[in-house]
Amino acid sequence: MKFYSVKWYMRGLFPHPLTEIVLAIVLASQYYAERYAGGQLAFVTVSQLLLLPIYGLLMSFHVIRDSKLTVFELSVLKSWEGIAIAKIIVLVVGFVPILVADIVLISSFSGYMLSLFLVAWVLEYLTITCLASLVRSQSGALLIVISFGILIPVGILSVLSYASSTHLVLGTSLSIVMYVLAPMLTYYYSSQGMLTVMPWAGFSSILAISLILLGGYFWIFLHSDLDL
């Protein structure tokens, strides 16, 4: 039944013209940004604030459901655990193509640490999307995903830019918050010595927080009061 749950959620993911078109546009835009529009900073900024969230939003539609549809799926699949796991698997599979392509692209102009923070962003986005899928309103869940993917990182960029221009050094707690809310941008700015938390510590914080939240997602979903 768990396998059938994964198959159920995989419908329309790959192959699908919309997914492939968006993937191609995102990768082409990232390549152009890095090669012709400002190098690593342009790549990181446009990826963190626009391109990756757009692709992520497309993936989110495969797991974010209206509560009535979720009740129907539970009545068909008969597996709370299966649905919870299937949502994670579908998101992982959906992000694999862009993750692999971006790592190859990043390797041509930067070290492995930027790739690690790309992985960290994907893990965070996956986690937030799973948690948002618990919201009974689909529009509310999508608002959470958009806020995490675009709106909050825009604010983080403003803080990082101000700190950079004024040579302000951010404290430990605020540095971790920066890493968690905008991993790729924060890693880029960390090279300027404005953060008291080193990149490895920032990556470890993201990993730990994401795993804790994923555990919370499982617990909340399995204890949901949706009626079959």
Task: Answer yes or no: is 227 within a domain.
Answer: no
pLDDT single digits (tens) 125-168: 999 999 998 888 889 999 999 999 999 999 999 999 999 999 89
Task: Answer yes or no: is 52 within a domain.
Answer: yes
The pLDDT value given to residue 162: 93
With H, G, I as helix, E, B as strand and everything else as coil, classify residue 31: helix
Q: Got the DSSP string for 112-169?
A: HHHHHHHHHHHHHHHHHHHHHTTSS-HHHHHHHHHIIIIIHHHHHHHHHHHHHHHTPP
Count the neighbouring beta carbons within 10 Å of the beta carbon of residue 75.
11
Distance in Å from the first CA to the final CA of the chain: 17
Q: Which of 57, 18, 16 is CA-nearest to residue 139?
A: 57
Task: Answer yes or no: is 228 within a domain.
Answer: no
Q: Please list, in sequence order, all residues whose beta carbon lies within 8 angstroms of the beta carbon of residue 180, skipping any fewer than 6 positions away.
A: 124, 205, 206, 209
Question: Considering only 79-83, 118-122, 191-195, which range has the smallest mean pLDDT?
Answer: 79-83
The pLDDT value given to residue 30: 96
Task: Answer yes or no: is 187 within a domain.
Answer: yes
The pLDDT value given to residue 29: 96
Q: Which position has the higher pLDDT, 65 or 36? A: 36
pLDDT single digits (tens) 144-155: 999 999 999 999
Q: How many structural domains does the chain have?
A: 1
Q: Is the pLDDT of residue 90 over 50?
A: yes
pLDDT band at 172 (very low <50, low <70, confident <90, very high): very high
The pLDDT value given to residue 228: 45
Q: Domain limits at 54?
A: 2-222
